[in-house]
Chain A
């Protein structure tokens, strides 16, 4: 088919009821409700052994020696492997050329750079014994500690200890910038100010930890792993171990969430099949929560040193932002370097503002490597932008809503090219903001009235207008893969449809939405569609589920494949009906000649001819009724142009968030009293599922705004966390109920006008909460510059404002 934009449902199909756009209940639910979903931890194979990884207890050290003897002597222990044993495994690939070389082996060999770094693996009859042995290996490892680097300042000091001896410093990425227009604006503007904004270290924290089960039979490997990108895992394992790729089958069982953390290819993904081959037995490793906290990627650890030039009337003239991302030890594939570029590129959110100069830096420290987490740099950027806007509003006495109204993107500006090249294709930015202001205004009054008699309580409101880049290129993240994904559609002889997808499911209801899409694309009932994904043998090669991309890529690839299936089916039906293919239409699952309701042939008759009664096929037509579509989203760019700009996302959803908080001055206690979201992700395939994505995203955004924070000892670089006692994952009491409304501005470029919605919810809350707290405490001169906004942080800000004479 031609790639008409936007791709539509084949006009030959006539529906009485379309499935796209309906809140179709999820087909995934029943098994979970009955306890019958199979997650990685639920899988066992005969003769299976369990693995426990031994992880560094030192933030930075040379490994002097490892005595595996005592562990091996323990009954039930089958083997202990150290980094040196894996000499036949290649280093993790590093495909991005502009960053410093990291040289990451599958298991650390002679040096560890963070607490949690795996350097040995113990194989035993069960996990209990494996842990006994892992403890013994740990206590029989001699480390020679090296000086540590616990944060950005330490890492960038002139005499900083270096993590990698062959680097000149600790910059993994060092991209300064210089823009004459920005310099000029600073000279001309009425005023300037400088400030620093900080986002803390967090992680995606799926409720299910990771896990790998690997088996090898006659050189054929089956690897079950809890990943968002099975095909990429497979390619990487092949590349690192030399196992021929066709002999590797990667299967993703049901997944208990991922949120970006499971997009990375971790050491365990590679080591487990290696052990299975070595021992000739199936082996399973299940990550426990402690391992998860110290060794699954962290994220969001950014600092922004900004200079802002503005005029008396509240016009922002230029922003210079030095964006630093503390990427931990950097020892992770794919590297955690791309987020800071996303932060820089989308920092201006839903606002018309281009006079930006962003410097991008990624810096290594002796902490857990950082990488992907839902939002991927956008929440950090939005926090900075809204802080700047609120500050300018305050300094110039401009109303905070008014200043935003002046800056917000207007429909007639579409497509709007952002300062970094992001091409916002369409949206409801201004309309959405007005609606959010209206909704929150009502509750603001209510909440103010509620606390009118309590002088200790202050009430405030905060706003944000963001854009959500969806379906991004993977090329800038991986240096390798790029943007497409795939679908294979087969109509079986009984007329039922099987869809194979290159994307995966981790809880977002992909099976349900894919069935809705395929049902409409082939004019069948969703119940007659079976969706298969997360299995490299049963589904076509694809890049997986991340970057809010599934909606676009599966719409595109399903429509492409369906169109090919339809064309062939029309030909077969035409032959059976003795008519011309062009005259054949499909009405409610039956083919007939346009204009006459009978005779008809069914999908089953067509498919039976294609697969079984091939004698009924038109002469010369190839048997079979299975077609694939490999969909590369239009407008998506993979490399910057000469001007350094790139539209790294296929589409741009948008949203306005607003929230009312109450703050107790005496204790700094903060409560989100109301939270509203006006959301626009283009055409909605399943509004119920989209609402769910928004709710969950907002909750995670609030977790980042107020609760979760990985802290390290500044002296030793040791983690000050080991459990949920320290890492404050919010409960139902801590997250407000929210109101979500939608506008539906279809993407002009993408199939069906779909945009994607997985991450938007997380982007708003940090900016909203900070803005609302500032507003509530404005008479005290408080200004929030960092997350999380805890009661302790609020009290500190109140004290500091009082000490500074309430100036800000």
Chain B
């Protein structure tokens, strides 16, 4: 299990990185390498050029401001997880990162790399959608921004154009009346989710007044759960949950069947996770303590 040969390039600027990517059809960006290098070891991925963005000036910025958190493309998951300021501004990030792999992998894996990789069972893409994050993309044609909700198109498939890179991502600060949580079922600790749910819930007087519910590990990409988002409005802690469960179950209509779980299981689990996440947030008095 050794990678096929490739050329290695470590540019200092985004422009050089983009120019290099333009010289080859199979060139790939190398960020933390925690998805890419294992895939190359299996020779499932055989780029002829790797553009390591680890040395690109400016991409290592992790900024916390009044509007939220901006994470540069080379910022590792561990760095984000360790920052108390990040945890205050966007508490969902630390909560989600707890479920991502293990310490040693998070020490190199990047937040943006996870978004670019777009594993359908990954936590961060779903969190980005739930939080309404914005991605900053740059290609030789210029820069653009994309809403996370429009970015994930399918399994390992995003809106990134050929030769384009993610330079950073912005997670807006969590509103005072909103709590973002992430829950999942995975057979082993640190695994990708079998079924997961990222939820940003706004509550007023102990009932849900607004919700962005995003499933992952269910279908081909993280997706807003239209039915459950509707059904949850007005939900209070002691309420009967069958309507919410049913709506979430229906939202899992395109769940996949694989060696780990059946499609039916994933739909049931999605229903259960929706109920349990909403109840957990309500039980925390809407301030997220203990979730």
Binding site for B on A (CB under 8 A): 127-128, 131-132, 135, 288-290, 664, 666-669, 707, 709, 711, 720-723, 725-726, 728, 730-734, 790-792, 795-796, 799
Q: Which of B1-9, B174-182, B200-208 contacts A (4 or more CB under 8 A)?
A: B1-9
Indicate whether B272 reaches chain A with its CB closer than 8 angstroms: yes
- Which residue of the partner chain B has the closest CB to A799? B264
Q: Decide if A127 touches B269 in the complex (CB within 8 Å).
A: no
Which 8 pairs, one residue from A and one from B, show the smallest C-beta to C-beta distance?
A: A733-B189, A666-B272, A792-B261, A792-B265, A288-B1, A128-B2, A711-B259, A667-B272
Question: Measured between alpha carbons, how far is A290 from B262 in the docked complex, in Å?
Answer: 25
Q: Decide if B187 touches A791 in the complex (CB within 8 Å).
A: yes
Q: Decide if B264 touches A731 in the complex (CB within 8 Å).
A: no
Q: Decide if B261 touches A734 in the complex (CB within 8 Å).
A: no
Could you write out 21 A-B pairs with CB less than 8 Å apart?
A: A128-B3, A131-B2, A132-B4, A132-B5, A290-B42, A667-B272, A667-B273, A668-B265, A668-B269, A707-B187, A707-B188, A728-B187, A728-B191, A730-B188, A733-B188, A790-B260, A791-B261, A792-B194, A792-B265, A795-B264, A795-B269
Could you say which residues of chain B place their CB within 8 Å of the CB of A707? Answer: 187-188
Could you say which residues of chain B place their CB within 8 Å of the CB of A290? Answer: 1, 42
Cβ of A669 to closest chain B Cβ, rounded Å: 7
Indicate whether B57 reaches chain A with its CB closer than 8 angstroms: no
Q: Decide if A728 touches B188 in the complex (CB within 8 Å).
A: yes
Question: Residue B185 contacts which of A669, A722, A734 (CB distance < 8 angstroms)?
Answer: A669
Interface residues of B in 244-291 (CB under 8 A from A): 259-262, 264-265, 268-269, 271-273, 275-276
Question: Measured between alpha carbons, how far is A723 from B188 in the docked complex, in Å?
Answer: 14
Could you say which residues of chain B place their CB within 8 Å of the CB of A795? Answer: 264-265, 268-269
Could you say which residues of chain A place their CB within 8 Å of the CB of B38? Answer: 723
Question: Measured between alpha carbons, how far is A109 from B38 in the docked complex, in Å?
Answer: 32
Q: Decide if B42 touches A720 in the complex (CB within 8 Å).
A: no
Cβ of B37 to closest chain A Cβ, rounded Å: 13
Q: Decide if A667 touches B268 in the complex (CB within 8 Å).
A: yes
From known contacts A127-B2, A132-B4, A290-B1, infer whether A667 and B269 are also in contact, taking CB-CB under 8 Å.
yes
Q: Decide if A723 touches B42 in the complex (CB within 8 Å).
A: yes
Q: Decide if A722 touches B2 in the complex (CB within 8 Å).
A: no
Could you say which residues of chain B place their CB within 8 Å of the CB of A799? Answer: 264
Q: Decide if A791 touches B188 in the complex (CB within 8 Å).
A: no
Could you say which residues of chain A place their CB within 8 Å of the CB of B260? Answer: 726, 790, 792
Indicate whether B58 reaches chain A with its CB closer than 8 angstroms: no
Could you say which residues of chain A place their CB within 8 Å of the CB of B187? Answer: 707, 728, 734, 790-791
Q: Decide if B188 touches A734 in the complex (CB within 8 Å).
A: yes
Q: Decide if B1 touches A734 in the complex (CB within 8 Å).
A: no
Cβ of A71 to closest chain B Cβ, rounded Å: 14
Indicate whether B234 reaches chain A with its CB closer than 8 angstroms: no
Could you say which residues of chain B place their CB within 8 Å of the CB of A734? Answer: 187-189
Binding site for A on B (CB under 8 A): 1-5, 38, 42-43, 185, 187-192, 194, 259-262, 264-265, 268-269, 271-273, 275-276
Tell me if B's interface is mostly helix, strand, loop or mixed. Answer: loop
Q: Decide if A666 touches B268 in the complex (CB within 8 Å).
A: yes
Q: Decide if A796 touches B265 in the complex (CB within 8 Å).
A: yes
Question: Measured between alpha carbons, how far is A211 from B218 in the docked complex, in Å?
Answer: 40
Question: Measured between alpha carbons, how far is A127 from B187 in the docked complex, in Å?
Answer: 34
- Which residue of the partner chain A has the closest CB to B245? A666
A to B contact number (C-beta, < 8 Å): 77
Could you say which residues of chain B place their CB within 8 Å of the CB of A288? Answer: 1
Q: Decide if B5 touches A721 in the complex (CB within 8 Å).
A: no
Question: Measured between alpha carbons, how far is A711 from B42 in the docked complex, in Å?
Answer: 19
Question: Measured between alpha carbons, how far is A532 from B264 in the docked complex, in Å?
Answer: 57
Could you say which residues of chain B place their CB within 8 Å of the CB of A731? Answer: 188-190
Could you say which residues of chain B place their CB within 8 Å of the CB of A726? Answer: 259-260
Cβ of B222 to closest chain A Cβ, rounded Å: 19
Most buried by A among B188, B189, B190, B262: B188
Could you say which residues of chain A place their CB within 8 Å of the CB of B42? Answer: 290, 722-723
- Which residue of the partner chain A has the closest CB to B192? A725
Given A127-B2, A791-B185, 15 additional A-B pairs, CB 8 A: A128-B2, A128-B3, A131-B1, A131-B43, A666-B268, A667-B269, A707-B187, A709-B259, A711-B259, A722-B42, A726-B259, A726-B260, A792-B260, A792-B261, A796-B262
Could you say which residues of chain B place their CB within 8 Å of the CB of A135? Answer: 4, 43
Cβ of B280 to closest chain A Cβ, rounded Å: 13
Question: Measured between alpha carbons, how far is A734 from B190 in the docked complex, in Å?
Answer: 11
Q: Decide if B185 touches A667 in the complex (CB within 8 Å).
A: yes
Question: Measured between alpha carbons, how far is A721 from B269 in the docked complex, in Å?
Answer: 24
Cβ of A86 to closest chain B Cβ, rounded Å: 25
Q: Decide if A721 touches B262 in the complex (CB within 8 Å).
A: no
Could you say which residues of chain B place their CB within 8 Å of the CB of A669? Answer: 185
Cβ of B263 to closest chain A Cβ, rounded Å: 10
Could you say which residues of chain A place their CB within 8 Å of the CB of B1? Answer: 131, 288-290
Question: Measured between alpha carbons, how far is A135 from B272 in the docked complex, in Å?
Answer: 46
Question: Measured between alpha carbons, how far is A795 from B1 in the docked complex, in Å?
Answer: 37
Question: Measured between alpha carbons, how far is A651 from B114 in the docked complex, in Å?
Answer: 55
Question: Measured between alpha carbons, how far is A799 from B275 in the docked complex, in Å?
Answer: 19
Question: Measured between alpha carbons, how far is A682 from B42 in the docked complex, in Å?
Answer: 47
Question: Measured between alpha carbons, how far is A325 from B187 in the docked complex, in Å?
Answer: 27
- Which residue of the partner chain B has the closest CB to A130? B2
Question: Residue B259 contacts which of A664, A720, A730 (CB distance < 8 angstroms)?
Answer: A720
Could you say which residues of chain B place their CB within 8 Å of the CB of A666? Answer: 268, 271-272, 275-276
Question: Measured between alpha carbons, how far is A733 from B271 in the docked complex, in Å?
Answer: 25
Cβ of A340 to closest chain B Cβ, rounded Å: 25
Cβ of A198 to closest chain B Cβ, rounded Å: 16
Question: Measured between alpha carbons, how far is A707 from B259 in the docked complex, in Å?
Answer: 12
Cβ of B243 to closest chain A Cβ, rounded Å: 15
Cβ of B242 to closest chain A Cβ, rounded Å: 12
Cβ of A700 to closest chain B Cβ, rounded Å: 15
Cβ of B4 to closest chain A Cβ, rounded Å: 7
Question: Measured between alpha carbons, how far is A791 from B264 in the docked complex, in Å?
Answer: 12
Could you say which residues of chain A place their CB within 8 Å of the CB of B2? Answer: 127-128, 131
Question: Measured between alpha carbons, how far is A128 from B3 in the docked complex, in Å?
Answer: 7
Question: Measured between alpha carbons, how far is A289 from B259 in the docked complex, in Å?
Answer: 20
Question: Measured between alpha carbons, how far is A325 from B191 in the docked complex, in Å?
Answer: 31
Could you say which residues of chain B place their CB within 8 Å of the CB of A791? Answer: 185, 187, 194, 261, 265, 269
Could you say which residues of chain B place their CB within 8 Å of the CB of A733? Answer: 188-190
Q: Decide if B262 touches A792 in the complex (CB within 8 Å).
A: yes
- Which residue of the partner chain A has the closest CB to B3? A128
Cβ of B262 to closest chain A Cβ, rounded Å: 6
Question: Measured between alpha carbons, how far is A707 from B189 in the docked complex, in Å?
Answer: 12
Cβ of A308 to closest chain B Cβ, rounded Å: 30
Question: Measured between alpha carbons, how far is A799 from B264 in the docked complex, in Å?
Answer: 10
Question: Measured between alpha carbons, how far is A288 from B187 in the docked complex, in Å?
Answer: 25
Question: Measured between alpha carbons, how far is A755 from B2 in the docked complex, in Å?
Answer: 44
Question: Measured between alpha carbons, how far is A795 from B276 in the docked complex, in Å?
Answer: 17
Question: Measured between alpha carbons, how far is A790 from B258 in the docked complex, in Å?
Answer: 13
- Which residue of the partner chain A has the closest CB to B265? A792
Cβ of B98 to closest chain A Cβ, rounded Å: 12
Could you say which residues of chain A place their CB within 8 Å of the CB of B269? Answer: 667-668, 791, 795
Cβ of B235 to closest chain A Cβ, rounded Å: 17
Could you say which residues of chain A place their CB within 8 Å of the CB of B276? Answer: 666
Could you say which residues of chain B place their CB within 8 Å of the CB of A728? Answer: 187-188, 191
Could you say which residues of chain B place their CB within 8 Å of the CB of A711? Answer: 259
Question: Measured between alpha carbons, how far is A795 from B259 in the docked complex, in Å?
Answer: 15
Question: Measured between alpha carbons, how far is A370 from B153 in the docked complex, in Å?
Answer: 42
Question: Measured between alpha carbons, how far is A707 from B264 in the docked complex, in Å?
Answer: 19
Question: Measured between alpha carbons, how far is A730 from B194 in the docked complex, in Å?
Answer: 16
Could you say which residues of chain A place their CB within 8 Å of the CB of B5? Answer: 128, 132
Q: Decide if A790 touches B259 in the complex (CB within 8 Å).
A: no
Question: Measured between alpha carbons, how far is A723 from B2 in the docked complex, in Å?
Answer: 14
Question: Measured between alpha carbons, how far is A667 from B183 in the docked complex, in Å?
Answer: 12
Most buried by B among A667, A796, A799: A667
Question: Measured between alpha carbons, how far is A726 from B262 in the docked complex, in Å?
Answer: 15
Could you say which residues of chain B place their CB within 8 Å of the CB of A722? Answer: 42
- Which residue of the partner chain B has the closest CB to A712? B259
Most buried by A among B192, B259, B260: B259
Question: Measured between alpha carbons, how far is A242 from B189 in the docked complex, in Å?
Answer: 51
Question: Measured between alpha carbons, how far is A696 from B77 in the docked complex, in Å?
Answer: 33
Cβ of A430 to closest chain B Cβ, rounded Å: 37
